[in-house]
């Protein structure tokens, strides 16, 4: 039976990425060797790393604009501390927007390095909206925000204009929508949400902002060292980088971010329309701030959960339960999820509605 994978991460990837990755595990580039056993210094793998880095910049429209793309390890979580290590001056200050669990995890690490000002937070409303009227202090070393809040299903539609470097955790919406990416100085994303398997993190950096904070940075945490080594300072996650490269090739072939954004908008519109229409469901996020990637919703009547759960499971849907801090359901509609899969969920929600009205009347 076909599975419809709504998991929040690791998550669905294009079928052709699974097929090509499988081929490469058995026989990479007709070398008679598996990608799992080749040297990361081999010509064939250097070509993979170079292509993955170039495709990332190309798809984001950042080629030739002074940016470097790296594929590092340690997840987005390691970036929470690499960012302050590389950008915050001794006795300096960083500004953070607190929009959820991941944003506050980033704040926790920054506090180790120095004065960390929270410019706004939606914590008091269980992060169900994106704060709007805040200003970024002009003397901050950088401003950090989270473009999409995977757990709470909110997404930033606008970014503040400021003269301080802007750092954005785009783990769960990278390559999903068009933005002027040149407004950002560092973009980072754990691969496993919208780009590849777990094990690598894309970091895109405007090179000119580095090397200015006067700290001695341990080599593995120093962006400049990774740039100099062309993302091969130590052994990279060979397979994760390869599969990420395949996803980026797929995205380019499919028409790039503009085409996928159109599809993502259709998917999100289809599901949110049903959440709003169907009297048995309610969305949790402020409507204007709803995420196109992660739609969070609750049942109006929790007692109906066993009926709804049985229906979506029977339809082949996977990964729908919400994060424990929100409860209910979370439908993660990453790039590789098809419109047909969203239609299957909507059909289940409508089927559920008719079953419940049969019981009640
Ligand atoms: C999942 C996630 C993280 C954590 O990513 P890891 O790669 O597991 O460290 C950070 N930020 C956001 C927005 C996420 O969705």
pLDDT in tens, 210-227: 999 999 999 999 999 999
Q: Evaluate: CB of 184 within 6 angstroms of ligand 1.
A: no
In ligand 1, which atom is closest to the CA atom of 74? Answer: 9
| Residue-level pLDDT at 114 | 95
- The dihedral formed by the CA atoms of 110, 116, 120 and 123, expressed in degrees to the nearest 10: 50
| Residue-level pLDDT at 20 | 98
Q: What does the DSSP 8-state code read for residue 290?
A: B
Instruction: Mark the ranges of the chain whose per-residue pLDDT is less than 70.
Output: 360-361
| Cα(102) to centroid(ligand 1), Å | 7
222 included as an active-site residue: no
| Residue-level pLDDT at 358 | 76
Q: What is the DSSP string of 96-112?
A: EEE-SHHHHHHHHHHHH
- Catalytic residue of the set 20, 98, 185, 193: 193
Q: Evaluate: CB of 9 within 6 angstroms of ligand 1.
A: yes
- CB proximity list for 173: less than 8 A, separation 6 or greater: 147, 148, 155, 193, 194, 291, 292, 293
Task: Using alpha carbons, select from 109, 35, 47 the residue that is nearest to residue 79.
Answer: 109
358 included as an active-site residue: no
| Residue-level pLDDT at 220 | 98
Q: Evaluate: CB of 77 within 6 angstroms of ligand 1.
A: yes
Q: What does the DSSP 8-state code read for residue 123?
A: G
| Residue-level pLDDT at 361 | 55
Judge if pTM exceeds 0.95: yes
Place of tokens 């739609």: 295
Strand partners, 321: 329
| Residue-level pLDDT at 205 | 98
| Residue-level pLDDT at 77 | 98
Determine which residue's CA is closest to atom 12 belonging to ligand 1.
Answer: 171
Place of tokens 């062309």: 230
Q: Evaluate: CB of 144 within 6 angstroms of ligand 1.
A: no
| Residue-level pLDDT at 251 | 98
Q: H-helix or E-strand containing 346?
A: helix 339-360
In ligand 1, which atom is closest to the CA atom of 9? Answer: 1
């Amino acid at each position: 039976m076909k599975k419809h994978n709504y998991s929040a991460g690791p998550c669905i990837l294009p079928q052709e990425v699974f097929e090509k990755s499988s081929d490469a595990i058995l026989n990479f580039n007709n070398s008679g060797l598996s990608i799992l056993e080749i040297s990361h210094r081999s010509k064939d793998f250097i070509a993979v790393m170079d292509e993955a880095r170039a495709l990332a910049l190309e798809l984001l429209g950042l080629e030739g604009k002074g940016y470097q793309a790296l594929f590092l390890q340690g997840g987005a979580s390691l970036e929470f501390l690499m960012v302050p290590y590389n950008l915050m001056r001794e006795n300096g200050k960083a500004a953070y927007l607190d929009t959820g669990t991941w944003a506050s995890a980033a704040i926790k690490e920054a506090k180790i390095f120095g004065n960390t000002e929270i410019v706004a937070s939606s914590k008091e409303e269980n992060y169900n909206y994106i704060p709007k009227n805040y200003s970024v202090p002009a003397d901050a070393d950088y401003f950090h925000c989270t473009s999409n809040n995977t757990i709470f299903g909110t997404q930033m539609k606008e970014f503040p204009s400021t003269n301080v470097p802007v750092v954005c955790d785009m783990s769960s919406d990278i390559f999903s929508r068009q933005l002027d990416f040149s407004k950002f100085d560092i973009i980072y994303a754990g691969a496993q949400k919208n780009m590849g398997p777990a094990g690598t993190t894309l970091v895109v950096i405007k090179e000119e902002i580095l090397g200015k904070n006067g700290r001695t940075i341990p080599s593995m945490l120093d962006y400049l060292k990774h740039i100099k080594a062309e993302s091969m300072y130590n052994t990279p996650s060979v397979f994760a980088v390869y599969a990420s490269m395949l996803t980026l090739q797929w995205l380019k072939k499919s028409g790039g971010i503009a085409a996928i954004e159109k599809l993502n908008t259709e998917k999100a519109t289809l599901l949110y329309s049903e959440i709003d229409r169907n009297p048995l469901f309610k969305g949790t996020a402020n409507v204007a701030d709803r995420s196109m990637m992660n739609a969070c919703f609750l049942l109006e009547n929790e007692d109906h959960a066993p009926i709804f759960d049985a229906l979506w499971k029977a339809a082949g849907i996977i990964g729908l339960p919400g994060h424990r801090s929100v409860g209910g359901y979370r439908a993660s509609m990453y790039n590789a999820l098809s419109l047909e899969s969203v239609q299957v969920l909507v059909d289940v929600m409508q089927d559920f509605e008719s079953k419940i009205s049969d019981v009640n009347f």
